[in-house]
Structure 1
Amino acid sequence: MPLDTDAVLDRRQLRRKLTFWRVAAGLVAIAGLAAVGFFGARSAGYFSARHVARIEVKGLITQNDEMRRMIEAIGRDDNVRALVVNIDSPGGTVAGSEALYRALREVAAKKPTVAVVDGMAASGGYIAAIATDHIVSRETSITGSIGVIVQFPNVVQLLQNVGVKVEAVRSTPLKATPSGLEPTSPEALAALREIVTDSYQWFQRLVKERRGLDDEQMRVASDGRAFSGVRAREMRLVDTIGGEPEARGWLADRGVSRDLAIRTYRPARRGSLPFVNAVAAAVVDAVGLSDLGERLRASAIVAGIERSALDGLLVVWQPPTP
Structure 2
Amino acid sequence: MSLDTEVLIDRRRIRRKLTFWRVATFSIIALGLIAAIIATAELDEFSKRRPHIARLAIDGVILENRKQLKLIEEIGESGNVQGVILSINSPGGSTTGGEALYEALRELAEKKPLVAEIRTVGASAGYMIALSADHILARYNSITGSIGVLFQYGNIAKLMDTIGVEMDAVKSAPLKAEPDYYSPASPEAKAVLGTLVNDSYEWFVKLVAERRQLDQDTAQSLADGRIYSGHAAHNNGLIDAIGGEKTAIAWLEDEKAVKADLPVINWTVKDTEEGLPISMKMTQGIGIGLANGLIDELNLAKWLISPAITLDGLVSVWQAPGAAQEKSSVRGGGQ
TM-score, length basis structure 1: 0.77
Question: Does the 8 Å contact 1:117/1:141 carry over to 2?
Answer: yes
1:264 aligns with 2:266: yes
Contact 1:90 1:318 in 2 (8 A): yes
Alpha-carbon distance change, 140 to 38 in structure 1, aligned in 2, over 3 angstroms: closer
| Gapped regions of structure 2 (runs ≥ 5) | 1-32, 286-291, 323-335
Measured after TM superposition, the shift of residue 155 of structure 1 is 1.4
CA distance in 2, matches of 1:320, 1:163: 34
Contact 1:60 / 1:90 at 8 angstroms: preserved in 2? yes
Q: CA deviation at 1:237?
A: 0.2
CA 1:111–1:276 in 2, change beyond 3 Å: closer, same or farther? farther
Shift of 1:319: 2.8
Matching residue of 1:289: none
Aligned residue runs from structure 1 range 45-194, under 5 A = 48-194=49-195
Instruction: Work out the percentage of aligned pairs sharing the same amino acid.
Output: 41
Residues 217 and 235 in structure 1, CA contact (< 8 A), matched pair in contact too: no
Take 1:116 and 1:302, find their aligned partners in 2: how far apart are those partners? 30
Q: Pairwise CA RMSD of aligned residues?
A: 3.0
Could you say which residue in structure 2 is the equivalent of 1:239? 240
Q: Which consecutive unaligned segments of at least 5 residues does structure 1 have?
A: 1-31, 285-292
TM-score after normalising by structure 2:
0.74
Separation in structure 1 between the aligned mates of residue 34 and residue 157 of structure 2, nearest angstrom: 61
Following superposition, the deviation at residue 194 of structure 1 comes to 1.1
Report the Cα distance in structure 1 between the residues aligned to 2:268 and 2:40, rounded to whole angstroms.
15
Residues 121 and 176 of structure 1: CA distance in aligned 2, closer, same or farther (over 3 Å):
same
What is the identity, as a one-letter code, of the residue corresponding to 2:262? L
| Secondary structure in structure 1 of the residue aligned to 2:118 | strand
The number of equivalent residue pairs is 274
- Indicate the residue corresponding to 2:299 in structure 1: 300
Alignment of 1:214-225 (within 5 A): 214-225=215-226
Conserved 8 A contact 1:60-1:306: no
Shift of 1:115: 0.6
Q: How far did 1:122 drift?
A: 0.2
One-letter code of the match for 2:150? I
- Give, in angstroms, the shift of residue 216 of structure 1: 2.9
Deviation for aligned residue 1:156: 1.6
The alpha-carbon deviation at position 215 of structure 1 amounts to 2.5
Q: Supply the AA of the counterpart residue of 1:260.
A: L
